[in-house]
């Protein structure tokens, strides 16, 4: 899964999610989750599913992906740039609702008890 990024890492749980090229740190404390998430102005996700937990996260498009191209830049670079922009916009649209997988050594029941609601 080359375009999957780890967004949560705590002592016993790792969560991977795919949303373009952005990283979001999501901690276990719900208040910190929101605060941390809001620190990122370029979050490209709408929600996060972690086990049974679900969090709504303010989203915006990764605007820094728009580079300023000059006429001198090669046409190849231009094609690469615009292709990436389109692909990212498409992925963003598709990923606005997505699930993340949980990788942990904990039993599923214990994980569920640890689940949290980011929107709380």
Partner 1 sequence: MKDIFAKAFKLLISNGEPLPVIKLSKKRPFKELTERELIQLESQIGAKLFGPVAAGNRREFFNENPSNWIWYEEWTGKDRKKHSTTTRYEVHAEGILKVSEGEPYYFIDGKELENLSMAVQMYHERVMRDIYKRDPSTGKLIN
Q: Which string of x and - marks every residue 56-95 that binds partner 1 (by CB under 8 A)?
A: ----xxxx-xx--------xx-xxx-xxxxxx-xx-xxx-
Cα–Cα dist 3/37, whole Å: 20
Which residue in the block uniquely carries the two structure tokens 């719900």? 30
* Using rule CB under 8 A, residue 35 touches partner 1: no
Q: Which is nearer to partner 1, 10 or 77 (CB)?
A: 77
Q: Is 120 in the site for partner 1 (CB under 8 A)?
A: no
Q: CB 58 → partner 1: shortest distance, Å?
A: 13
Asked if 15 contacts 100 with a C-beta cutoff of 8 angstroms, the reply is yes
Smallest distance, Å, CB 95 to partner 1?
A: 10
Which helix H or strand E contains 82, and what residues bound it? helix 75-95
**Token pair for 45:** 């996700």
Give the three-state DSSP class for 71. Answer: coil
Q: Give least dist CB 85 to partner 1, A.
A: 6
């Amino acid at each position: 899964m080359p375009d999957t990024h780890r967004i949560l890492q705590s002592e016993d749980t790792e969560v991977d999610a795919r949303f373009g090229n952005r990283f979001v740190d999501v901690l276990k404390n719900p208040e910190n989750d929101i605060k941390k998430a809001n620190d990122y102005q370029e979050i490209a996700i709408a929600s996060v599913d972690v086990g049974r937990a679900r969090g709504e996260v303010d989203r915006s498009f990764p605007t820094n992906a728009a580079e300023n191209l000059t006429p001198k830049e090669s046409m190849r670079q231009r094609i690469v740039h615009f292709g990436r922009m389109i692909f990212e916009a498409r992925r963003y649209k598709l990923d606005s609702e997505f699930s993340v997988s949980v990788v942990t050594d904990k039993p599923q029941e214990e994980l569920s008890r640890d689940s949290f609601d980011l929107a709380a």
